[in-house]
Amino acid sequence: MSDSDNAFNRSTDLQAAPPAPRPKIMRFPSVYAVLLAITVVVWALTFVIPSGKYQLLDGRPLAGSYRPVDNHRAFSEKLLDLFMAPVNGFYGVENPATGHVGPYESGAVFGAVGVFFFVLAIGAFVNTTIRTGAIDAGIGRIATRCRRRGTLLISLVMVLIAIGGSTFGMGEETLGFYAILTPLLLRLGYDRLTAVGVILVGSVVGNMNSTVNPFMTGAASAGAGIPLGQGIGLRAAMFVVLTGIAVIYVVRYARKVKHHSLASMAGLGARDDQLAQENGDTLAAMTRAQKGVMALFAGTFVFMIFALVPWAQVIGVPGAASYAWQLDWYFPELTATFLVMAVAIGLVGGLFGERLIAAMLEGIADFMGAALVIVLARGITVIMHNAFITDTVLHSVESAIAGTASGLFSVIMMVVIMPLSFLVPSSSGLATLSMPVLAPMADFAGVGRDMVVTAFQCAVGIVALVTPTSAIVMSGLALAGVSYGKYLLWVLPLLATLVIAATAFLAVAASLR
The answer to whether 163 and 135 are in contact (CB under 8 A) is no
State the CB neighbour count (10 A cutoff) for residue 75. 8
Which residues are CB-contacts of 151 (< 8 A; sequence separation ≥ 6)?
A: 251, 254, 255
Q: Tell me how far apart the alpha carbons of residues 291 and 57 are, in angstroms, rounded to a whole number.
A: 50
Which residues are CB-contacts of 30 (< 8 A; sequence separation ≥ 6)?
A: none
Give the per-residue pLDDT at 469.
78
Write the DSSP string, 52-108: EE--EETTEEPTT--EE------HHHHHHHHHTHHHHHHH-EE-TTT--EETT--SE
- Of residues 343 and 142, which shows the higher confidence score? 343
Give the per-residue pLDDT at 28.
67
Q: Tell me how far apart the alpha carbons of residues 132 and 134 are, in angstroms, rounded to a whole number.
A: 5
Residue 498, pLDDT > 80, answer: yes
Give the per-residue pLDDT at 283.
61
Q: Tell me how far apart the alpha carbons of residues 375 and 372 are, in angstroms, rounded to a whole number.
A: 5
Q: Tell me how far apart the alpha carbons of residues 439 and 422 are, in angstroms, rounded to a whole number.
A: 20
The half-sphere exposure of 425 on its side-chain side, counting CA atoms within 13 A, is 17
Label residue 25 by pLDDT band (50, 70, 90).
Answer: very low
Name the residue among 510, 395, 407, 405 with its Cα closest to residue 441: 395
- The helices-and-strands tally (H runs, E runs) of the chain is 24, 7
The separation between the first and the last C-alpha atoms of the chain, rounded to the nearest angstrom, is 92
Give the per-residue pLDDT at 204.
97
Label residue 8 by pLDDT band (50, 70, 90).
Answer: very low
Longest Cα–Cα distance in the chain: 102
Instruction: Give pLDDT tens digits for 210-244.
Output: 999 999 999 999 999 998 889 999 999 999 999 99
Domains of the chain: which residue ranges? 113-512
Q: Tell me how far apart the alpha carbons of residues 440 and 48 are, in angstroms, rounded to a whole number.
A: 22
Label residue 281 by pLDDT band (50, 70, 90).
Answer: low
Give the per-residue pLDDT at 16.
46
Give the per-residue pLDDT at 317.
73
Distances (CA, A) of 308 to 60, 66, 123, 221, 328: 22, 34, 19, 12, 6
Give the per-residue pLDDT at 282.
55
State the CB neighbour count (10 A cutoff) for residue 36. 17
The answer to whether 476 and 195 are in contact (CB under 8 A) is no
Give the per-residue pLDDT at 340.
98
Q: Tell me how far apart the alpha carbons of residues 367 and 356 are, in angstroms, rounded to a whole number.
A: 17
> What kind and span of H or E run contains 109?
strand 108-109
Beta bridge partners of 61: 56
Label residue 194 by pLDDT band (50, 70, 90).
Answer: very high
Instruction: Work out the average pLDDT over 35-54.
Output: 95
Least confident of 143-157, 232-246, 438-452: 143-157
Give the per-residue pLDDT at 226.
92
Name the residue among 111, 126, 173, 110 with its Cα closest to residue 372: 111
Exposure string over 248-278, b if 16+ CB within 10 A, otherwise e: ebbbebbbbbbeeeeebbbebeeebeeebee
Name the residue among 398, 388, 338 with its Cα closest to residue 363: 338
Burial class (CB within 10 angstroms; exposed 0-12, middle 13-18, buried 19+) of 511: middle
Burial class (CB within 10 angstroms; exposed 0-12, middle 13-18, buried 19+) of 334: buried
Instruction: Give pLDDT tens digits for 386-410.
Output: 999 999 999 988 877 877 888 999 9
Q: Tell me how far apart the alpha carbons of residues 476 and 197 are, in angstroms, rounded to a whole number.
A: 10
Which residues are CB-contacts of 276 (< 8 A; sequence separation ≥ 6)?
A: 183, 186, 187
Task: Annotate 294-321 with three-state secondary structure.
Answer: HHHHHHHHHHHHHHHCCHHHHHCCCCCC
pTM: 0.85
